[in-house]
Amino acid sequence: MNIYKVLPDLSNERQMRLWQQGIRKQWSADDIDWNAPRRIGGEKIRDQLGRILTPVLTGEQSVLYSVSGLIPVLEHLSKVPAQFYLTTWAVDEARHTELFARYFGRIDREPLSIRKFPAGFLFQSRIISKDPSEWLTGVLASESMAQVVSHQLRDLDLDPVLSEICAGIIEDESRHLGFNHIYIEDQFKELYAEDAEKADQKALESG
C-alpha cells in the first residue's frame, strides 16, 4: 500500500528550481523544420552517421526506461521535489528518443543490430537500478557522453536538422547533469548528518 503525505515537503529549493526549469523549457520534435534541405547526401556519410547515432538512440531509450522506473521509487522515499523533476526528465528522454528515431528516417538508415554492436547494447542495459543514488552515478557516464557527442555534432554542423536537435539536447542534458550533482550532494549531506548524530549518541552513552 502506498502512503502519501497530505502536504508534501517541497522545501528543497534547488530541486524545486530545476523542476520549474524542466517544465518551462519543454519543446517538441514537431518544432524542428524536418523539411529543411538535407546537406548530407552521400551514402558513406549516412552509413557513418547511422553507426555513430546507434549508441545515442539506445542510450536515450534506456535512460527513458530507467528514469520512468525511478519516479515511483522517489515517491516511496517521500522525495517529492526529486520525483517532480524526474517526470520532466522522462519527458526529455522521450523527446530525445523520438528525435533520433525520426532522424534515422531522414538519413534513410537503421541503427546497427545487437549482433554488430553487442558492447553498446550491454553497456546500456546495465545502467539500471532501483536505488536513485546508484543509478545517478551510473548514468553520469552516459549523460556526459551525450553532452560531448551533442556538442561535437552541433559544431560540425553536418545537417541543419541534426544541428538543431543537438542544440536543444545540450540544454536538456545540462539540467540532467545539474540534477545529478544536486541530488548526490544532498545524499552525502544526509549521510554525514546521520553519522554525526550516531557519533553524538555514542558520546552521550559513554560519557
> What is the contact surface with Fe ion in residues (CB under 5 A)?
60, 93, 96, 143, 173, 176
Question: Which one, 49 or 166, has the nearer CB to Fe ion?
Answer: 166
Question: Which one, 38 or 98, has the nearer CB to Fe ion?
Answer: 98
Q: How far apart are CA 68 and CA 186, in angstroms?
A: 21
> Helix, strand or coil for residue 117?
coil
Question: Which one, 96 or 106, has the nearer CB to Fe ion?
Answer: 96
Q: Which residues, at least 6 apart from 187, have a Cβ–Cβ distance to it below 8 Å?
A: 133
Instruction: Quickly list DSSP for the chain.
Output: -----SS-----HHHHHHHHHHHHT---GGGS-TTSPPS---HHHHHHHHHHHHHHHHHHHHHHHHHHHHHHHHHHTT-HHHHHHHHHHHHHHHHHHHHHHHHHHHTT--PPPTTT-HHHHHHHHH---SSHHHHHHHHHHHHHHHHHHHHHHHHHT-SHHHHHHHHHHHHHHHHHHHHHHHHHHHHHHHHHHHHHHHHHHHHHHH-
Question: Which one, 26 or 201, has the nearer CB to Fe ion?
Answer: 26
- Least CB distance from residue 85 to Fe ion, whole Å? 12
- Least CB distance from residue 192 to Fe ion, whole Å? 28
Q: How far apart are CA 115 and CA 44, in angstroms?
A: 21
Question: Which one, 8 or 21, has the nearer CB to Fe ion?
Answer: 21
Question: Which one, 28 or 78, has the nearer CB to Fe ion?
Answer: 28
- Least CB distance from residue 143 to Fe ion, whole Å? 5
- Least CB distance from residue 141 to Fe ion, whole Å? 12
- Least CB distance from residue 102 to Fe ion, whole Å? 15
**Residue least distant from Fe ion (Cβ):** 96
- Least CB distance from residue 158 to Fe ion, whole Å? 19
